[in-house]
Structure 1
Amino acid sequence: MLPPLSEKELDRLEDLLITYGNDYSVLNLAELNGFFTALASSPTTVMPEQWLPAVAGGKVPKFKKPAHEEAYTALMLRYASQVAEELGDDVDHFEPLFEESEGEEGSVIIMEEWCFGYMRGTQVAGWAELPPEQDQLLKAISLHGLEDNFELLDQMSEADIQACVPQVTEAARRLYRYHRLQD
């Protein structure tokens, strides 16, 4: 069992995502956390050689230095393992890594990046069609994680969007249980 990433290692991983990222890649830890949550919740095991290129937007980046490649891969593998362990150890208390920003009303949770990462993870893992109950759970996440839904989100108030935070969290927990533990 690998130790969880330290704050410094998480910062390094995010720096590498940004440095080697492109328009199609995962660019921050929130999106990466969502991606790894979906992979850990998947009915099938997805190997790093399948998901590493997906994180990078299609193909593994050309690294400027061998040390960058080693750090990128090692930190990625450890973070994937860490997210899977968090879910497996205590799914009832799993908390997605949402971003926060300061709004006029105080702190606001931003789910978009995490949800986009989650949906990318379901695509990489090739999730099959879900039964109606689980499909509704996935829709709670995809509402915030697919460009097709931007118009719907634009019509929602900030309060309505914030009210979705516990729904998205619970959906992630229940989808993990469904695939991993078969509720």
Structure 2
Amino acid sequence: MLPRLNDKELARLEDLLITYGNDFSVLNLAELNGFFTALASSPTTVTPEKWLPAVSGGKVPKFKRPAHEEAYTALMLRYCNDVAAELAEQLEHFEPLFEENEGEEGPAIILEEWCFGYMRGTQVAQWDALPPEQDALLKAISLHGLEDNFELLDSMSFDELQACVPLVIDAARGLYRYQKQQRH
């Protein structure tokens, strides 16, 4: 197995996401982490041939240089494997890669990008309806990962939004655990 991506490789991957991104693509590592978390938590295996175009907004980008395409694909595959391995090996310590921001009330965890990526992953993997307990877990993520909820999110206080962070982390772990049991 290849070593996990280091900080320099992660920065390169994020740079490639931005360089070759568009309005419909994954544009940062937080969203990509959520996407890969959903794929790793999926009841079925989703091949790179299916998920790679989804990351870039529907079709693989037209790369300026062959080296960019090689780096993009290799880093993407390795990062997908990294997220899956982290879930499989350290589920109870799994921490989604959330963005952080310095707001008026102090440091804030931003859930939206990661949750949007997660929801995109559930769509690409074509998740079936879940039992009520797991559906409630998915709702904790979809609250922050669907445009339909923007109005509700805008009405929430800083403290209410930050109180959602552990709920989203628990939901990600719980959905992975459930789907893993379904596969076996």
State the one-letter code of the partner of 1:84: A
Distance in 2, Cα, partners of 1:88 & 1:2: 16
Equivalent in the alignment of 1:61: 61
Determine if the alignment matches structure 1 residue 25 to structure 2 residue 25. yes
Partner deviation per Cα, 1:40-60 (whole Å, 9 max, x = no partner) = 000000000000000000000
Name stretches of at least 5 consecutive residues in structure 2 with no aligned partner: none
Alpha-carbon separation, structure 2, partners of 1:104 and 1:139? 28
User: What is the alpha-carbon distance in structure 2 between the residues aligned to residue 124 and residue 28 of structure 1?
Assistant: 18
The equivalent residue for 1:149 is 149
Tell me, in whole angstroms, the C-alpha distance in 2 between the residues paired with 1:181 and 1:100. Answer: 32
Query: What CA deviation, in whole Å up to 9, does each residue of 1:123-161 have, x standing for no partner?
Result: 000000000000000000000000000011011101100
Q: Pairwise mapping of residues 84-123 of structure 1 onto structure 2 (< 5 A)?
A: 84-123=84-123
Aligned-pair distance for 1:65? 0.1
**Structure 2 SS opposite 1:68:** helix
Aligned-residue CA RMSD in angstroms?
Answer: 1.0
* 2: CA distance, partners of 1:141 / 1:90: 20
- Aligned letter for 2:12? R
Q: Secondary structure at the match of 1:102?
A: strand
Paired residue for 1:16? 16
Alignment partners' CA distance in 1, 2:122 and 2:51: 11
CA distance in 1 between counterparts of 2:128 and 2:38 reads 13
Alignment correspondent of 1:72: 72
Gaps of 5+ in 1: none
How does the TM-score come out when normalised to structure 2? Answer: 0.98
